[in-house]
Amino acid sequence: MGNADYECPHRVEIPPSKPFLKALKSSLKETFFPDDPFKQFKNQPTSRKLVLGLQHFVPILEWAPRYTFDFFKSDLIAGITIASLAVPQGISYANLANLPPILGLYSSFVPPLVYAMLGSSKDLAVGTVAVASLLISSMLGKVVSPTENPKLYVQLALTSTFFAGAFQASLGLLRLGFVVDFLSHATIVGFMGGAATVVCLQQLKGVLGLVHFTHETDLISVMKSIFSQEHQWRWESAVLGCCFLFFLLLTRYFSKRRPAFFWINAMAPLCSVILGSILVYVTHAEKHGVQVIGHLKKGLNPPSVSELAFGSPYLTTAIKTGIITGVIGLAEGVAVGRSFAAFKNYHIDGNKEMIAFGMMNIAGSCTSCYLTAGPFSRTAVNFNAGCKTAVSNIVMATAVMFTLLFLTPLFHYTPLVVLSAIIMAAMLGIIDYEAVIHLWKVDKVDCIVCLGAFVGVVFGSVEIGLVIAVTVSMLRLLLFVARPRTFTLGNIPDSSIYRSIDQYPDANNIPGILILQIDAPIYFANANYLRERISRWIYEEEDKLKSSGETSLHYVILDLSTVGSIDTSGISMLEEVKKNVDIKGLKLVLANPRSEVIKKLEKSKFIEKIGQEWIYVTVGEAVSACNFMLHTCKPNPGEIEVNRKDDNV
């Protein structure tokens, strides 16, 4: 490009400074209120604001006036369908948590009613979840034995549920939902897969009819416990368990092949419980080594406020268990809710969901319920059954209430091995090997995070797996910040567009000019790295030009279009880069600095040091200016500014 191609560039504007308080308010709003929840309150009378406020925190008040009988018919069918799944799953998961089975039924009564009033999802079906049940069993079981001191164990489980709810509600009220985002998709896939594997291994106790079993959850301890008790294996229990597991997997396979028959898979667990109970009752199998649930007392949830063990010496363990199970429950529940909301093209408010989850667990802990969330299996059944609103949760809770009042004696002969088969069938559906393969194809580091979580859970413990997954995710995040990518840009032929030469091999280098793009904000964590990396780009370019005998290097253009912000360490880095470039007899040029960046460069007087004439709106204008100077025997930089002013006039 010669003089004829040179066009006078536009001046880079420095935005006016905002008052500190106004800037702080804007920053806090973007951080904590990106969805602008107060928008609906603008220009509204006080009475209307009060109504909108109540509807915001209690969503049922917003959609209930529009509720129709057609909606109710759909919700009635969906609610009865998920109730048929909730009853056996509730008993099974309570058994997994080493809690009395009746607590599983209690947990499918009160929490769904609370969520129906406060939740924003139309499809989420509330209930107990396997992973949280396993966490409660493994973490609380280390300090209190559920068999030797069952009362204290139940008290700690209720107390951990209270703290889980308090933590969840606090995140929602304080708009701190982004904390859950640190559990990436890869982390959740690996963690849930590992937890599902551990749960399946734990159910071998019920399938083999073992009475004594390890409280550890790692693979080696479980296998030792199983094979050290070979003489106690009950073939009757094993045959029964394998038959029911095969039946449950077969119904799921059929329902997947024929989605219209989804109800077959939904009804299969309850059918298994009924068939198993009849079989045991008729054959008296309980006298031949097949363990049964036993007596379940009739009646609704008794209050349990007095059972919360705030003065227990194990309170710290209860708090830790509550926070961990609360985070896992939130991550799973919000992800499931958003997934199904996307199918129906509506939006759920993550912070409202956190408040709803928190309140239902606080209420649950006061009414003999342990931790509940939004399990995927139950929500999928609810969705496929055609639910329209959260009323399906109310219908489910009503069906569970009827069960608690009248039907609990019928579960006396339900074999534990059937509950184990129900849990194993549900957990095998959680192990998502296809997602792992997809992660490996798309992002191998994400796949390593996933496998790290899986291995940590299976060979260590649930807590170790979670720590490994979060730690690796955080390290990866820090690595992205501390080691941002930099690219050399070239000109795409027959255009004024400049793009990465790695991505566009046909892009041409500009003789005498090195164009670099920094692909991240510049902070103290990466300033030193960027200074060294830019210096390396410069001497590598100089060596390449010397070896090829091409035009020597004269200008270094930094494209700052992807640098959203910069701190004082970053400004110091640019000052050092400028000094190093000046020493080499080169000239530093900046292109397209963003609003926040140019403001800080102006306040730090860096613009005075580099000169306003060396800052351009686009890379193309910067290259044109540099070429103009190269072809006019490198005049004083001030001449360009004079030309610019003349042209503007």
Task: Convert the pLDDT of each residue in 262-276 to its tens digit.
Answer: 778 778 888 888 898
Instruction: Give the span between the Cα atoms of 567 and 234, in whole angstroms.
Output: 68
Q: What is the pLDDT of residue 517?
A: 94
Q: Across-strand partners of 517?
A: 487, 559
User: Is the separation of the CB atoms in 619 and 557 below 8 Å?
Assistant: yes
Count Cβ atoms below 10 Å from residue 264 Cβ, excluding itself: 15
Q: What is the pLDDT of residue 639?
A: 43
Position 526, amino acid: N
Are residues 310 and 437 located together in one domain of the fold?
yes
| Average pLDDT rounded to a whole number, residues 396-415 | 90
Instruction: Give, in order, the Cα–Cα distances in Å from 520 to each of 54, 345, 525.
Output: 42, 33, 11
What residues make up the domain containing 546? 483-643
Please identify, among 418, 447, 478, the residue that sits at the C-terminal boundary of a domain: 478
Rounding to the nearest 10 degrees, give the CA dihedral for residues 527, 532, 537, 543.
160
Q: What is the pLDDT of residue 9?
A: 60
**Residue 5: band (very low, low, confident or very high) from pLDDT cuts 50, 70, 90:** very low
Residue 30 lies in a domain: no
Residue 4 has pLDDT above 50, yes or no: no
Residue 506 lies in a domain: yes
Considering only residues 181 and 303, tell me which one the structure prediction assigns the higher pLDDT.
303
The angle formed by the CA atoms of residues 559, 578 and 507, to the nearest 5 degrees, is 30
Q: What is the pLDDT of residue 637?
A: 43
Residue 641 has pLDDT above 70, yes or no: no
Q: Which helix (H) or strand (E) holds 376?
A: helix 376-384
Please identify, among 428, 455, 478, the residue that sits at the C-terminal boundary of a domain: 478
Q: What is the pLDDT of residue 633?
A: 53
Structure tokens at 378: 């139950």
Of 528, 531, 526, 489, nearest to 510 (Cα)? 489
Considering only residues 641 and 578, tell me which one the structure prediction assigns the higher pLDDT.
578
Number of domains in the chain: 2
Please identify, among 452, 478, 504, the residue that sits at the C-terminal boundary of a domain: 478
Q: What is the pLDDT of residue 35?
A: 66
Encode burial over 436-473: b for 16+ CB neighbours within 10 A, e otherwise.
beebeeeeeebbbbbbbbbbbbbebbbbbbbebbbebb
Are residues 274 and 126 located together in one domain of the fold?
yes
Are residues 497 and 549 located together in one domain of the fold?
yes
Q: How high is the mean pLDDT of the chain?
A: 85
Highest-confidence range of 252-256, 459-463, 612-616, by mean pLDDT?
Answer: 612-616
Are residues 397 and 515 located together in one domain of the fold?
no
| Average pLDDT rounded to a whole number, residues 432-449 | 89
**Residue 144: band (very low, low, confident or very high) from pLDDT cuts 50, 70, 90:** very high
**Residue 316: band (very low, low, confident or very high) from pLDDT cuts 50, 70, 90:** very high
**Residue 336: band (very low, low, confident or very high) from pLDDT cuts 50, 70, 90:** confident
Which 8-state DSSP code applies to residue 260? G
Are residues 549 and 609 located together in one domain of the fold?
yes
Residue 441 lies in a domain: yes
Are residues 439 and 494 located together in one domain of the fold?
no
Q: What is the pLDDT of residue 526?
A: 92
Residue 607 lies in a domain: yes
Position 461, amino acid: S
Stretch among 34-48, 360-374, 376-390, 576-590 having the lowest mean pLDDT: 34-48
Highest-confidence range of 134-138, 168-172, 185-189, 644-648, by mean pLDDT?
Answer: 168-172
**Residue 604: band (very low, low, confident or very high) from pLDDT cuts 50, 70, 90:** very high
Are residues 578 and 628 located together in one domain of the fold?
yes
Q: pTM of the entire structure?
A: 0.77
Residue 373 has pLDDT above 60, yes or no: yes
| Average pLDDT rounded to a whole number, residues 89-115 | 92
Residue 600 lies in a domain: yes
Which 8-state DSSP code applies to residue 404? I
Q: Supply the CATH number for residue 605's domain.
A: 3.30.750.24
| Average pLDDT rounded to a whole number, residues 192-201 | 84
Residue 92 lies in a domain: yes
Kindly tell me the burial class for residue 74, based on how many C-beta atoms sit within 10 Å of its own C-beta (0-12, 13-18, 19 or more): middle
Instruction: Give the span between the Cα atoms of 112 and 392, in whole angstroms.
Output: 9
Instruction: Give the span between the Cα atoms of 359 and 367, in whole angstroms.
Output: 12
Considering only residues 394 and 548, tell me which one the structure prediction assigns the higher pLDDT.
394
- 381's torsion region: left (phi>0), alpha (psi -120 to 50) or beta? alpha
Residue 279 lies in a domain: yes
Are residues 178 and 139 located together in one domain of the fold?
yes
Q: Specify the pairing of strand 486-491 against strand 498-500.
A: antiparallel
Q: What is the pLDDT of residue 3?
A: 35
Are residues 462 and 534 located together in one domain of the fold?
no
Instruction: Give, in order, the Cα–Cα distances in Å from 537 to each of 95, 267, 490, 548.
Output: 62, 65, 14, 16
Are residues 472 and 490 located together in one domain of the fold?
no
| Average pLDDT rounded to a whole number, residues 517-544 | 92
Are residues 448 and 521 located together in one domain of the fold?
no
Residue 50 lies in a domain: no
Kindly tell me the burial class for residue 116, based on how many C-beta atoms sit within 10 Å of its own C-beta (0-12, 13-18, 19 or more): buried
Considering only residues 581 and 24, tell me which one the structure prediction assigns the higher pLDDT.
581
Are residues 488 and 473 located together in one domain of the fold?
no
Q: Could you tell me how far CA 424 lies from the centroid of its own chain?
A: 25
Report pLDDT digits (tens) over 213-272.
776 778 888 888 888 888 888 887 888 889 989 998 998 888 888 877 777 877 888 888
Instruction: Give, in order, the Cα–Cα distances in Å from 464 to each of 109, 216, 458, 460, 556.
Output: 33, 13, 9, 6, 48
